[in-house]
Structure 1
Amino acid sequence: MKLKEVKFIMEKRILGKTDFQVSVVGFGGIPAQRLNEEQVLELLTEAYDQGMNFIDTARGYMASEELIGYALEKLGRDKFYLATKSMDKTYKGIIEEFNQSLSFLGTSYIDLYQFHNIKTFKEYDQIMSDYGAYKAVKELKEQGKIKEIGITSHSKEVLDMAIDTGLFNTIQYPYNAVETQGEELFKKAKANNIGVIVMKPLAGGAIGKGEIAIRYILDNPNVSVVIPGMDSISQVLQNARAGIDRRAMTEVEKERLAKEASTLGAEFCRRCGYCLPCPQEIDIPSNFLMEGYYTRYNLQDWAKERYGAMSPKASDCIECGICETKCPYDLPIRKMLKDVVEVFN
């Protein structure tokens, strides 16, 4: 697929201590796993044409790396800064994961390699131990296979400590109109010249006003790049517009976004997918999504029809609780699935 000459001017920001001049809106790679090769190629072609030059994926995102690798082979590896990550915490394990990433992505190097979803200080200590993952990643960097090292977490405390070490050039953390607890963390990162990558900009799809939600995030000068997941051309265009048309939010837009955010509270699914797979094969995030359509977006008939077609669904939960041990937000998933059943029964 032939690339057009980039005609849109998207704002760029320097990613911390790196020399990467990244588009303020990047391509989040989680939803790519639901698509095929040609669809991902089409999305990344449009993303580039809209001025995006940063891709974030992960070894744990199923087929995402392989699909993105196919697209990069067609478009040219040099068109994007490429970030991926691994949840492995051991020296040997992360080298194996890294080599898999290189193979799937069809590249000889990774621009930004991140330790993925470090939940606790114990996990952090594990990657920093004598036989831990950091030693391996540092060696790969010395070999030129990795340009920069970053860390992602849903724990503000872990990232606060990681900033103090000076060992990471980027952090990745959730931030949106509902979850603003990272603002002081971002300020500290900027003061230490550490790049800030924002995940969950739409609170896992719970916030429907995409362009406004991203503009809200980009109004924070401490944010380097926001990485909304995208699985359609319309999403690419909407998300890119937030980085191209950098006008200030109006009071009306702020009120609309605040009103939507206020309906969510703290107990809502961000659709990160870490709870999966469910032993009963329930698509847990999709059940919560249908409930949201029913209760928040006045789509009762549409949501009820689609929930009814799910098999298995929330009513098939046996309350084993495995999902709750994997949720980075410590959500009471079993209770929330019961609430879904109540809504649709």
Structure 2
Amino acid sequence: MPFARLAHATTPTCHIGLGLAAVGRPGYINLGRDRDLGEDRSVDALRERTHELLDAAYAQGVRYIDAARSYGRSEEFLADWLSARPGLDDVVVGSKWGYTYTAGWSTDAEKHEVKDHGAATYERQRAETDALLGDRLDLYQIHSVTPDSPALTDKELHARLAEAAAGGLTVGFSTSGPAQADAIRAALEVTVDGEPLFRTVQSTYNALETSAGPALAEAHDAGLTVLVKEGMANGRLAAPHAPEALRAVAEEISLGCDAVALALILREPWAGVVLSGAATLTQLASNLHAAAVDLDEGQVARLAALAEDPRAYWERRGQLPWH
């Protein structure tokens, strides 16, 4: 498992990864994006921004980088960065397949991505990822599995994924939506020749959306590495949008709301890697302070009260504009 390399890392930030969803394409749903990226969202500008973030993250101990076929040119930007720094053998690289980027480098496209979990899409996107990342790819995940996803029942797909795993690639899945827990538990039952297929799970979990927690604990107990995405709830937990309780705790410890929000996740014993979705160097530096935050039980209890009904959470997320 490539994540065994992280287990031996000595930096406090080894359990924080950098996700490239916010910087691999010009449009995304994070609040505050206009302020973060400004007007220049050309390919060259976002490539430079991505490389600056990767340099800063690596210098501060981050060793897991997360991309996806649907994150615009994130794989390309990451591949360029890795090629220019051939000595970084301790970086763990993950990507995802199952969504195709369709926005054409626009922020106002009718559709930004199209989902398809069929075997043909896997083969096409695996070839595209391989052309960019080659043997630097450690983890390949099915993007946003839901309980009704054909990826949970497609035996042909399972055989192809098992073949990739036999060749040394770690196979995982990510989840989205109000029924994440059901999707996680269904995926834990997927086997090939009596052996579990998936070795990692990446799910949305944050102070507002905690419904996947028990299932993620079960996945951890079953031997899967758990990665957490959207720890900032697409900007809803960052200043100035953060709830009053989160802002109060941040004031008490003299750090940003983002550091507190990510620290709340890091304290979970099942959380292997928590992703920062930073789009600026300032955001990244603040996010990484999470590794040093020690919340007391009273603070944790106050933050726990922020959890929303998952259906309400995902309905609101679905209404966030691409910008």
- TM-score surpassing 0.5? yes
Please give the per-residue CA displacement for 1:321-343, whole angstroms capped at 9, x wherever unaligned.
Answer: xxxxxxxxxxxxxxxxxxxxxxx
Deviations 1:99-135 (A, max 9, x none): 2112233x32421111111123352345x323x2x32
Identify which of 238, 259, 266 aligns with 1:218.
266
Q: Does 1:21 align with 2:69?
A: no
1:129 is aligned, of 155, 167, 176, to 155
Q: In structure 2, how many angstroms separate the alpha carbons of the residues matched to 1:271 and 1:102? A: 35
Instruction: Kindly provide the CA deviation profile for residues 261-315 of structure 1, in whole angstroms up to 9, marking residues without a partner as x.
Output: 479996457997x88xxxxxxx8244xxxxxxxxxxxxxxxxxxxxxxxxxxxxx
User: Normalized against structure 1, the TM-score is what?
Assistant: 0.66
- 2:204 and 2:260 map into 1 onto residues whose CA distance is 17
Selected match of 1:189 from 211, 219, 229:
219
Other-structure match for 1:235? 283
User: What does residue 181 of structure 2 align with?
Assistant: 156
Tell me the residue number matched to 2:59.
49
* Number of residue-to-residue matches in the alignment: 254
Aligned match for 1:117, one of 140, 144, 164:
144
Deviation at 1:196, TM superposition (A): 0.8
**C-alpha contact 2:69 2:95 (8 A) present in aligned 1:** yes
Distance 1:161 1:256 in 2: 32
Unmatched tracts of structure 1, length 5 or more: 1-13, 276-282, 287-345
Q: Structure with the greater relative contact order (CA < 8 A, sep ≥ 6): 1 or 2?
A: 2
Using the alignment, how far apart are the partners of 2:309 and 2:211 within structure 1? 15
Distance in 2 (alpha carbons) for counterparts of 1:270 and 1:238: 28
Greater Cα shift, 68-77 or 40-49: 68-77
CA-based RMSD: 2.8
With over 3 angstroms needed to count, the CA separation of the structure-2 counterparts of 1:197 and 1:263, relative to structure 1, is closer
Contact 2:118 2:150 in 1 (8 A): no
**Is 1:39 aligned to 2:67, yes or no?**
no
> Amino acid of the residue matched to residue 284 of structure 1?
P
Say which of 86, 91, 97 aligns to 1:86: 97
Equivalent in the alignment of 2:126: 98
Measure how far apart 1:36 and its partner are. Answer: 2.1
The 3 A distance-change label for structure 1 pair 266 and 211 is: farther
Give the equivalent residue in structure 2 for 1:340: none
Q: Which residue of 2 aligns with 1:138?
A: 162
Show CA shifts across 1:184-211 (max 9, x none). 1122112111111111101111111110
Post-superposition shift, 1:80?
Answer: 1.1
Give the SS at the match of 2:135: coil
How far is the alpha carbon of 1:141 from its aligned partner?
A: 2.9
| Counterpart among 246, 249, 254 of residue 295 in structure 2 | 249
Distance 2:119 2:314 in 1: 33
Q: Distance in 2 between matches of 1:220 and 1:178?
A: 15
TM-score between both structures, scaled by the size of structure 2 = 0.70
Contact 1:170–1:194 under 8 Å retained in 2: yes
Are residues 69 and 177 of structure 1, via their aligned partners in 2, closer, same or farther at CA, if it must alter by over 3 Å?
same
Q: Work out which of the two has the higher radius of gyration on C-alpha atoms and give 1 or 2.
A: 1
Q: Are the structure 2 counterparts of residues 266 and 210 from structure 1 closer, same or farther at C-alpha, using a change threshold of 3 Å?
A: farther
Structure 1 Cα separation of the partners of residues 119 and 185 of structure 2: 24
Map Cα deviations across residues 132-183 of structure 1 (whole Å, 9 max, x no partner).
2x32222233334x2x110111221111121233221111111111111122
Secondary structure, aligned partner of 1:117: strand
Stretch deviating more after TM superposition (151-160 or 50-59): 151-160
Q: Secondary structure at the match of 2:233?
A: coil
> Where does structure 2 lack aligned partners over 5 or more consecutive residues?
8-13, 27-44, 99-115, 191-195, 239-256
Distance 1:159 1:269 in 2: 17
Report if the CA contact (8 A) 1:156-1:185 is conserved. Answer: yes
> What is the letter of the counterpart of residue 93 of structure 1?
T
SS of 1:222's equivalent? coil
